Structure 1
Amino acid sequence: MSIDQIAAAADRLRPVVRRTPVIASRVLSERTGQQVYFKCENLQRTGSFKPRGAYNRIANLSSDERARGVVAASAGNHAQGVAWAATELGIASTVFMPVNVALPKLAATKAYGAQVHLTGETIDDALVAAREYSEQHGAVLIHPFDHVDVVAGQGTVGLEIVEQIPDVSTIVVPTGGGGLLAGIASAAHALAPQVQVIGVQAASAAAWPGSLAAGHPVRVGSMQTMADGIAVRLPGDVPYAHVAELAQSVLTVSEEALSRALLLCMERAKLIVEPAGAAAVAALMTGDLDLRGPVCAVLSGGNIDPLVLTHVITHGLRAAGRYLAVRVTIPDRPGGLSRLLNVVSETGASVLDVVHSRTAPTLALDEVEVMLTVETRSEAHRQAVLDTLSGAGFTVDAQS
């Protein structure tokens, strides 16, 4: 794929997609010692970078292919990107989604104009159904990442970054199938070859490190991550060739790091970002990267189910030492609970919830179990609360 193909995609996309803003992050600049910017693709049409590749791919179809319509498989962002792009171009679209897809993503995909079918438990199941539909009805399958037109469309993010941050030295990119990473790496290599481009995956859904080590795409087995937008079992052949040649590396981050990154984006940047979209931020927060600045972290998407957001915020608060759930065994006598709460109060922690139980099988006859949920200020404060409770003679079991 050449820079001319990416430039042509940029010309094609300019009238219909947003040139998303670049925002400086003071908190990450202070933590990393380098100037850090966010490239806000979470503010793109449909809430992610996906319309860039989808529109470029569909716009390049022949008249005959357009007449047959398009089909895709996705749990969210690609589905919305294909539905929007097809409607924008006056083409019929059909999307297969897993039965457990988040309701907001399902509703959005329908609202953008796609005919939606729910099938199977995973994206792989939905993709099988989409391929069968394509074979039976002649609709063109729009793959989420494994096509040169899709990669060229995603590469326009790289063009914009180089234009918006002319002295950028490092670009950090959330990575699933590899289309966004391959596109950005290709654009950066052509326009600013000194720039290092780094991919980031969730550690529990990481196909790229093993694939790069093997020299070809390798399918991973089970995946369990909150970052469903980058949970891809097998990297694409098309993006693999570009990533293997042009990307500096692909590293992984934990679920705790992802949740803390999402929380930082909300609290400090006032940006709603989905777990997959916060992967680059998570990598910068770990402090494990050898960075050359200025640094650009791509926020690849912001489509998150409010119920999932609530769960992830709680997870992030706990990971950041801002939230403590602790099981405490106290004497079952008058004043026992009051003494416990007084000890917590003296630490400066705020009690959010108290559950009092006498039925736990491990309790003696004269004991009662209290499940406390408290708000703390930091990891150090969280540990101080635990130490104070233990020092006061209570049996303490902090919950993960």
Structure 2
Amino acid sequence: MLSFEDVLAAQDTVSETARHTPLDYSHTFSAMTGADIHLKLELFQRTGSFKIRGATNRIASLSDAEREAGVVTASAGNHAQGVALAATRIGVDSKIVMPERAPVSKVKATRSYGGNVVLHGRDYDAAAEHAHELEREEGRTYVHAFDDEKVMAGQGTIGLEIYEDLPGVDTVVVPIGGGGLISGIATALKGKDERIRVIGVQAEGASSVAESLEKGHRIERDSVETIADGIATRTVGEQTFEVISDRVDEVVTVSDSEIAVALTTLLERSKTLAEGAGAVALAAVMEEKFDFEDDETIVPALCGGNIDLNTLTNVIMRGLVETGRYLKIRTVLQDRPGALEELVEVLSREQVNIYGIEHDRTSRDVAMSSAEVELDLETRGHDHVAELIDALTDEGYEVDVLV
């Protein structure tokens, strides 16, 4: 099993490429939760993710013959960039298999770091199967995204940094996909101080670790579905599951809606952009998915910031909906002059901002003397939404909430 000494040994190797990322006290999230929240901003890492650490440590261990043959790996995006950069730095050819639906931004970034990208399969696991075929056909060394001691040890250097910067930390909250990150961090922190609690977080739509721990053995999901593409794996690694079972105190899950709220709140209040997988640890704290005391010192690890702009637009909108900041409604008006103006007057009185109006007098769902209206509205929270719906109802409007 991965040892504390393995993580210590990786520190010098990793530091040649990776940055020591900030640990930032957050007034905002401390006030929200009552805890003492410090954000580990690993999303400021080179390539925008922690993956450069494990990739650097693994590739540095290659023999001369292995370097000559090159490496291959599979990744949803962040590990791809880490392997591409780490390999290019020491002159090793890298071939990266990414899922066909991998974010465009991550594909472009991987190529910019020198990786030869192959798009294959619907998710990480399908991409990994193809990468292993290339490993056998071309004699390359496979650099696993998580189930490798060198990789886990490299990721564990984050734990050493957290302890160095905040030795009084009580709890560290870490995202889980395949388990390499949390295995390394838990090993580092428990090696430094056994009392430090390590909490793992998965997306509900990719909760293989939580389900595996409940059953007492590794399980593989038939599919995964989450906005947190960086942790969208169908199963946990063999080696990582062993470490998680031994050293991680608790594993919880968060929904896509909760991830979206955490991501948008982080962006709005802390001016920090995370990807879905990078925001799950904060989501678990904000939603109190595990028990913690007032003033407990908690470090959510924000471990990725590589989000596709199209995805970001959707996630922000989802976050606004979940917090009552955006509302889409439909109602029916009499088809006469002034009817729309009367509706707008109600909205104005309730201090609602109108993003857009669609007025349709040809809809088959309403009488010929009526017109259907859909409105996109900016609201100030769930209480404001409720007040608006009540006001419209009192004025005689029948309102359908669409979003």
TM-score by length of 1: 0.98
Q: 1:86-118 CA distances to partner (integer Å, 9 max, x unpaired)? A: 011221100111223222111110110011112
Aligned to 2:258: 257
C-alpha distance in structure 1 between counterparts of 2:99 and 2:143, whole Å: 17
Aligned to 2:303: 300
> 1:124: Cα distance to partner?
2.1
Query: Which letter does structure 1 place at the counterpart of 2:341?
Result: S
> SS where residue 399 of structure 2 aligns?
strand
Q: Structure 1 CA distance, aligned partners of 2:51 and 2:145?
A: 8
- What is the CA distance between 1:201 and its match in structure 2? 0.9
Q: Does 1:126 align with 2:137?
A: no
Letter in 1 for 2:395: A
Contact 1:157 1:184 in 2 (8 A): yes
- Counterpart selection for 1:393 from 368, 372, 396: 396
Deviations 1:20-55 (A, max 9, x none): 001111121112211101101110010000010111
The residue number in structure 1 matching 2:272 is 271
Counterpart CA distance in 2 for 1:221 and 1:362 is: 40
Kindly provide the amino acid, as one letter, of the partner of residue 367 in structure 2.
Answer: A
Partner of 1:284: 285
Residue matched to 2:348: 345
How many Å apart are 1:375 and its aligned residue? 0.7
- CA offsets 1:244-279 (integer angstroms, 9 cap, x no match): 111111111111111110111111111110011000
5+ long unaligned stretches in structure 2: none
Shift in Å, 1:120 = 2.4
- Provide the aligned length of Structure 1 versus Structure 2: 400
- Is the aligned partner of 1:334 residue 2:337? yes
Do the aligned partners of 2:252 and 2:290 also contact (CA within 8 Å) in 1? no
1:157-208 deviation line (CA, Å, top 9, x unaligned): 1111111111000101111111111111111111011111101111122111
Residue of structure 2 in register with 1:377 after alignment: 380
Contact 2:125 2:233 in 1 (8 A): no
Aligned residue number for residue 220 of structure 2: 219
Tell me the residue number matched to 1:185.
Answer: 186
Structure 1 segment 100-119 matched on structure 2, within 5 A: 100-119=101-120
- Distance in 1 between the 2:364 and 2:152 partners? 57
- Structure 1: distance between partners of 2:121 and 2:210: 28
Does structure 2 conserve the Cα–Cα contact (< 8 Å) formed by 1:330 and 1:395?
Answer: no
Between the aligned partners of 1:91 and 1:177, the Cα distance in structure 2 is: 25
* Alignment-derived partner of residue 248 in structure 1: 249
| Cα distance per residue 1:296-317 (max 9 Å; x no partner) | 0000100011111111111111
1:304-323 to 2 correspondence within 5 Å?
304-323=307-326
| Residue of structure 1 equivalent to 2:205 | 204
Answer whether contact 2:120 2:126 (CA < 8 A) is retained.
yes
Question: In 2, Cα distance between the equivalents of 1:127 and 1:153?
Answer: 21
Q: State the 1:223 CA deviation.
A: 1.8
Q: Name the CA distance, whole Å, in 2 between partners of 1:84 and 1:223.
A: 28
Q: Is the 8 A contact 2:363 2:372 kept in 1?
A: yes
More off after superposition, 208-217 vs 298-307: 208-217
CA shift for structure 1 position 222: 2.3
Using the TM superposition, name which of 215-224 and 104-113 deviates more. 215-224
The amino acid across from 1:258 in the alignment is I
Separation of aligned partners in 1, 2:90 and 2:393: 65
Shift of the alpha carbon at 1:127? 1.1
- Structure 2 distance, partners of 1:289, 1:99, is 35
Amino acid in structure 2 at the alignment position of 1:250: V
Separation in structure 2 between the aligned mates of residue 224 and residue 161 of structure 1, nearest angstrom:
31
Give the superposed CA RMSD: 1.1
Q: Deviations over 1:320-353 (max 9, x none)?
A: 1111111112222111111111111111111111
Quick one: distance in 2 between partners of 1:54 and 1:224? 26
State which drifts further: 296-305 or 384-393. 384-393
Query: Structure 2 counterpart of 1:355, which letter?
Result: E
The answer to whether the Cα contact below 8 Å between 2:52 and 2:82 also exists between their aligned partners in 1 is yes
**Cα-to-partner distance string for 1:102-148 (whole Å, 9 max, x where unaligned):** 22111110110011112222222211111000001110111100011
- TM-score between both structures, scaled by the size of structure 2: 0.97
